[in-house]
Amino acid sequence: MRVLSHVDDVGVSPGSVIAWAALRRAGVVRSASLMVPCAWYPMARDDVLANPDQDMGVHITLTSEWSSYRWRPLIGARGGLVDSEGYMHRRPEMVLAEADEGAVAEEIEAQIQQVLADGIRPTHLDAHMGTALLPPFVWALIGAGRRHGIPVLCARDMGPLVDIVKLPGFDAGYLREVEAEVSAAGWPVFDRFLIEFCPDDVEAAEHYARVVSEGAPGGLNYLAMHADTGEGLQHFAPHHEVPRRKEYELFSEPGSRAVFGAGEIVDWRDLSEQRS
């Protein structure tokens, strides 16, 4: 089994940036992605520029789900990208119902262009709450990846993500078409997407050892996490603080390698080298 261990949401809070720095020093979680529209993106950007040898992608963001801390599209309130309060919609199904495909494509491109303009070369593109991976938006995401030569996340089995985001009426049949497009571009296709927040009453190492064990045996698995020191979260997302802090406390220690057992930990750069 191979596992790409990944931290989403870098830049959503100050604690997310601090946590990612600690995790990459520990060397167990080696890949992450930036949330460009968020308030602490500049802090994350500066960390990447000061420490450029990191596997950093763009966490394409089309939703803003929290209550007292929200963010807006880079291209502004156009094409149904925002709710009645002027922020990105809270849920993927709201984006599907309200957003124009062209506006979504523009926003995807704007987030990538911002990162490139800031001097960062992303290793990959993935999707906050899975929204940019949904039809019809995924085709714009793949198109952007092709234009810029940046791999796009694709997994044959997205079940755990669908379960945690609770997408109503989700039909995974289109993933076969996405897989064909991603393979044709020469990018890796993961066998299984793994994601599950650790309950407050469960020990983190035990929890993540179980999650990893549910990956595709002998396959390539993607493990999405959201490590955060908790700095900032207590003010605008207290219900997220404990599970994210538990990930930070576990994976900022080199001993957390034991969670993966005999599995091989990889990052996007490893996969790129294996293709070349």
Q: Which helix (H) or strand (E) holds 3?
A: strand 2-10
Q: Per-residue confidence at 165, pLDDT binned at 50, 70, 90?
A: confident
Alpha-carbon radius of gyration of the chain: 17
Q: Residue 275 — very low, low, confident or very high, per pLDDT cuts 50/70/90? A: low
Strand partners, 2: 220, 264
Residues 188 and 220 sit within 8 Å (Cβ to Cβ): yes
Provide, rounded to the nearest whole percent, the portion of the chain with pLDDT above 70.
Answer: 99
Structure tokens at 132: 């940019």
For residue 219, give both structure tokens.
């396959």
Q: Which one has a higher pLDDT value, 274 or 103?
A: 103
Over 99-113, what HEC string results? CCHHHHHHHHHHHHH
Give the CB-side neighbour count of residue 117, counting CA atoms within 13 A: 8
pLDDT for residue 240: 86
**Residues 229-250: what's their mean pLDDT?**
90
Region 210-221: what's the mean pLDDT? 96
**CATH number of the domain residue 48 falls in:** 3.20.20.370
pTM: 0.96
Q: What is the amino acid identity at position 136?
A: P
d(CA 52, CA 120): 8
Reference 249, options 8, 13, 5, 18; nearest CA is 18
State the average pLDDT over residues 67-72: 94
Q: How many domains does the chain have?
A: 1
CA–CA separation, 76 vs 169, rounded Å?
29
The amino acid sitting at 124 is H
What are the counts of helices (DSSP H) followed by strands (DSSP E) for the chain? 11, 8
Position 140 pLDDT exceeds 90: yes
Q: Is the per-residue pLDDT at 168 higher than 80?
A: no
Closest CA to 101 of 76, 150, 151, 135: 135
Rounded CA-CA distance 215/228 in Å is 24
Window from 66-70, 139-143, 220-224 with minimum mean pLDDT: 66-70
Q: Which two tokens stand for residue 15?
A: 């604690």
Domain residues for 100?
A: 2-275
**Around 196, how many Cα atoms within 13 Å sit in the side-chain half-sphere?**
19
State the Cα–Cα distance between residues 21 and 11, nearest whole angstrom. 12
What does the mean pLDDT of the chain come to?
Answer: 95
Mean pLDDT across 115-129:
98
Q: In the chain, pLDDT over 90 holds for what percent of residues?
A: 88
| Close Cβ partners of 201 (under 8 Å, ≥ 6 residues apart) | none
